[in-house]
Chains A and B, each alone.
Chain A
Amino acid sequence: MKRFKPTLSHLSRRTFLQATAALGGASALGLRGAYAQEPEKPAEIIVRAWGGSWVDSLKAGVSDSFTKMTGIAVRHDLTEDNEIQPKVWAAVAQNRVPPIHINWDTTTNATKSALRGVTEDLSDLPNLANVTDLAKPAGLEGFPIVNTYGYVYVLAYRPAAFPDGPPKSWKDLLDPKFKGRLAFYNDGIGFHFPAQVAGGGKLEDIPGNMQPAWDFITKMKAQQPLLGEDPDFTTWFQNGEIDAACTISTNAREARKNGVKIEWVVPEEGAKFDTDGLWIPKGLPENELYWAKQYINHALTKEAQQVWLDGLGLPGVVPGLTPPKDLVGDPSYPTTEADFQRLIRISSKIQVENESEWFSKFKAIMQG
């Protein structure tokens, strides 16, 4: 990596670098001098992101402050994560410069890219010294991805549709009155594992024997649920199309912010907990790679995480973050060991190796 001496004209940038390096602890201090020798700045860096409140939160928490500190503009590319993946893979395979600098991705998707060998190693980020274990991608060497927060696929519901109190179990959704009034992700993501428990199976049997999950999903199919993506859930709740859904709490919270009366629970069978992360595709020019790494390093500061994840309502990977007021004690914002015990976490490796089969099985049931 080409390095230059810092100049006095970059005072704000130096402040930024000092702050991030200081948060990195002793090891970060060792790299501080190296990071101060900056390669040429690109005019902009491109960060792939999800739209709506997702990108708004990223912009408010990470991108704007990064631009303020470095002078580098951040452009958010809202191409779907699934659609950018083959483009990045093709670019790397053909030795072309990839279309984005940073991919904000699900850990499962990102792991596929890491296994394919198209991700840069991020082990040298100073702020990794100050993150929790959640930031480390399980089952992978080094840091091809940095997980930046966790999230829960909760059971979100309209209180008016549950006059006897909140649903306690995923089985409550089998009540005939909810026929046509439920929603799941169109590949079943988030629901496979709770369905395994609700269907009488064990989590230890994943992936070997998931028949209980398929049996339970078959029962759920009789309820004729809607199947969609993140934005659909918010829209469906707002338009009164559904009474309950298995969705990421952020979507439910967004609907609530928009005035929809909506609550969520982690049912007794548990709810899937997963992570999202940031990664950099191979093939970037050296100076752009350097600044892309700085962006991710900045995303791991307490200040950036606090604003970003306040917007998303999700727990981050830096200790000492304050939960948003409306999520204190909320099951979708786990902070204690007891909170995590109610959640289901399956390793990325198992998910990556079996996801295609699970998606097909879920689709076969729901499309049948």
Chain B
Amino acid sequence: MRAARTAYPLKWRIMDTLEGVAAAIWPARFRRATPYLMLLPAVLLVGLLVLGLIQIADASLRTLDTTTFQFSDNYSIANFRRALTEPLFLVVAQRSLIAALIVTTVTLVFAFPYAYLMVRTRSPGLRKFLLIALFLPFFIGQVVRAYGWLIILGNQGMVNEALGLVGVAPMRLIYNYPAVLFGLVQYMLPFAVLMLAPALTAIPEELEAAAGSLGASWVRTFIHVVLPLARPGFIGAGVVVLTLSLTDFAVPAILGGGSQDFIANAIYDQFFRTSDQGLGATLALMLVALGSILVGLVFALFGAGTLAMGRSRA
């Protein structure tokens, strides 16, 4: 009895059974299609998004009848005409776009030294500290962080209290455009560092040492060696920060004091405040289009960076 178990243990039996079941479900002749099977979750996910976009596109072509609060049966481009001609939407779109560009630039400038230090430091303690400081904000949601800034920067907040100690009268530090930009940069910084770090890790330290041994100063090495090789990281981080900033809702809503709306806030207003889901859908589609064009431009000009998974543009 014992010998038989050793010869064909239970684990083997289970594995054989499972293999039999797998073969019945996915026969060996389908093996060439297995890689495509792996794509199925992604296809399903993208398919759902596309279905949603089709519904949004359908809604965008219907206008709201305010006597019945029903949407028109007929299609029209009235919502698109409104979105492109009403000053409110142009102002909000312009503000979002400029903010996204400013936030991306400033975030990359701040994120690079952080990522560089984190990757290159010889001190394991410092690296751990930088990693913890990087990941800690992820455990605190965006809304909580934005409210945190209200407490710190408010009229009776810590900063104004500190200023009061040296005789400076309380000043309005929040509820304006700079406050929104500040909040966004603070929110985006960890994302940018996370995208930059792998690109910097991939730069062999020996290259910097070689440049130094050939007489290049640290600055020249940095400009001519490190920065060009870090380009994929900049592109990946830039694309992520750009798109997240462009579509942000919470930071403008909380730190903007109601007067610094982004496109996402305008979309919310249409869906939930005026009940005009058609116009909201139109603005949503235009935001998707704007984001896609921007990302497409970046990819066309600079390649996909780290988002290309190591395959850089020729």
Q: Do A and B bind each other?
A: yes
Q: Could you list which residues of chain A lie within 8 angstroms of chain B, going by C-beta atoms?
A: 80, 82-83, 85-86, 112-113, 115-117, 180, 186-187, 224-228, 232, 239-241, 352-356, 359-360, 363-364, 366-368
Taken together as a complex, chains A and B put the C-alpha atoms of A364 and B270 apart, in Å, by 14
A239 partner residues in chain B, CB cutoff 8 A: 154-156
Distance to closest chain B CB from A190 (angstroms)? 14
B294 CB–A CB distance under 8 Å: no
7 pairs from A and B in contact (CB 8 Å cutoff):
A85-B275, A112-B69, A117-B68, A240-B170, A360-B274, A363-B261, A367-B261
A356 and B88 form a contact (CB under 8 A): no
B68 and A228 form a contact (CB under 8 A): no
B274: which of A228, A240, A355, A367 is its contact (CB, 8 Å)? A355
B86 and A353 form a contact (CB under 8 A): no
A115-B69, A227-B258 known; A367-B275 Cβ under 8 A: no
B91 and A116 form a contact (CB under 8 A): no
A363 and B69 form a contact (CB under 8 A): no
Distance to closest chain A CB from B255 (angstroms)? 12
Taken together as a complex, chains A and B put the C-alpha atoms of A113 and B259 apart, in Å, by 29
Taken together as a complex, chains A and B put the C-alpha atoms of A28 and B207 apart, in Å, by 91
Residue of A85, A180, A187, A241 ringed by the most chain B CB atoms within 10 A: A241
A240 partner residues in chain B, CB cutoff 8 A: 155-156, 170
* Secondary structure class of chain A's binding surface, majority of residues: helix
A363 and B277 form a contact (CB under 8 A): no
B67 partner residues in chain A, CB cutoff 8 A: 115, 353
Taken together as a complex, chains A and B put the C-alpha atoms of A91 and B157 apart, in Å, by 44
Distance to closest chain A CB from B275 (angstroms)? 6
Taken together as a complex, chains A and B put the C-alpha atoms of A355 and B91 apart, in Å, by 21
A86 and B277 form a contact (CB under 8 A): yes
Distance to closest chain B CB from A319 (angstroms)? 33
Distance to closest chain B CB from A316 (angstroms)? 27
A85-B272, A115-B68 known; A366-B258 Cβ under 8 A: yes
Given contacts A86-B277, A180-B172, A353-B67, 4 further A-B contacts (CB under 8 A): A82-B273, A85-B272, A187-B273, A226-B175
* A-B CB pair tally, cutoff 8 Å: 80
Residue in A closest to B171 when the chains form the complex, CB atoms = A180
A82: which of B68, B92, B272 is its contact (CB, 8 Å)? B272
A364 and B88 form a contact (CB under 8 A): yes
A241-B154, A360-B88 known; A226-B257 Cβ under 8 A: yes
A364 and B155 form a contact (CB under 8 A): no
A86 and B175 form a contact (CB under 8 A): no
Residue of A83, A85, A356 ringed by the most chain B CB atoms within 10 A: A356
Residue in A closest to B151 when the chains form the complex, CB atoms = A239
B66 CB–A CB distance under 8 Å: yes
Distance to closest chain B CB from A50 (angstroms)? 15
Taken together as a complex, chains A and B put the C-alpha atoms of A272 and B257 apart, in Å, by 23
A367 and B155 form a contact (CB under 8 A): no
B292 CB–A CB distance under 8 Å: no
A367 and B88 form a contact (CB under 8 A): yes
B172 and A86 form a contact (CB under 8 A): no
Residue of B68, B91, B257 ringed by the most chain A CB atoms within 10 A: B257
Distance to closest chain B CB from A242 (angstroms)? 9
B275 partner residues in chain A, CB cutoff 8 A: 85-86, 112, 356
B271 CB–A CB distance under 8 Å: yes
Taken together as a complex, chains A and B put the C-alpha atoms of A86 and B170 apart, in Å, by 42
Q: Map CB proximity to A onto B270-284 as digits: 1 under 8 Å, 0 otherwise.
A: 011111110000000
B261 partner residues in chain A, CB cutoff 8 A: 363, 367
Taken together as a complex, chains A and B put the C-alpha atoms of A368 and B259 apart, in Å, by 9
Distance to closest chain B CB from A358 (angstroms)? 10
B87 CB–A CB distance under 8 Å: yes
Distance to closest chain B CB from A108 (angstroms)? 11
